[in-house]
Amino acid sequence: MNRLPVAERREQLIEAALAVASRDGIDAATVRAVAAEAGVSLGVVHYCFQDKDELLRAMAHAITSANLERSLGDLPEQGDDPQTVIEGVLDALWAGIRESRGPQLLSYELTTSSLRHSELNQVAIEQYRGQWAAAEQVLDLVERTAHVGWSVPRGDIARTVVAVIDGYSLAWLVDGDSDAARAGLLSFGRYLSTMAVPVALEPVGVDVLGSGDTAATPA
């Protein structure tokens, strides 16, 4: 067995766990099955993860991170209007979700499994905290790309974004209607853009040569 740094070995085991759980369901992702999938001993898994709870949290984080990376992959150009930016982000996010049905189904299994088993109760909590934080990160990037703020607190919008994406994703897993899900998300994006408040860039400091930094202020 090749010796890998712990961080790399953890990534390998997370990928193996995701492969097992996406293929056979969350209950099949035992430590023994993950070790077999990764081609390592049980001791290696126990060395990298304290228990199954920690491994499941890492799996949930990996799914959230992958969704975030997809949504930011083709962000529109600086200065585009808020609706264009928001729809571009949602379109990219949905394309990624549509192409990863197994991991998306797994994310719901992680939630329900953790709610049913007290020893796993932190999985769902950390899963949603991660999703809310990722949504806030996307909203922050939308602000900087479209030069806008929000008419309601960003944290509240982030929770709404996660709830809407969750709803459409689950409906798609049930009925398989990708076009309807995409249309619904883009419609939500148009609604979300109505909460965007334009900001203007104004100089806040000028040096002796006449150049300075700028800061965003409400238009």
CATH of the domain at 22: 1.10.10
Residues 68 and 142 in one domain: yes
Residue 79 confidence (pLDDT) = 65
Say how many residues make up the chain: 219
Highest mean pLDDT (candidates 12-26, 112-126, 200-214)? 12-26
64 and 42 together in one domain: no
Residue 141 and residue 181 share a domain: yes
- Judge whether 204 lies within some domain: no
Q: Which amino acid, 186?
A: L
Average pLDDT over the chain reads: 83
pLDDT at 115: 85
Q: What gap in Å lies between CA 48 and CA 42, rounded to an integer?
A: 10
132, 58: one domain: yes
Residues 7 and 105 in one domain: no
Instruction: Say whether both 30 and 64 belong to one domain.
Output: no
Of 148, 146, 139, 150, residue with least CA distance to 78: 146
> Residue 204 above 50 pLDDT?
no
pLDDT of 67 strictly over 60: yes
38/87 same-domain check? no
Mean of pLDDT values over 37-66:
87
The answer to whether residues 163 and 67 belong to one domain is: yes
Q: Do 77 and 157 sit in the same domain of this protein?
A: yes
- Count of domains for the chain: 2
Residue in 101, 97, 100, 103 with CA at minimum distance from that of residue 21: 103
Name the residue range of residue 10's domain. Answer: 1-49
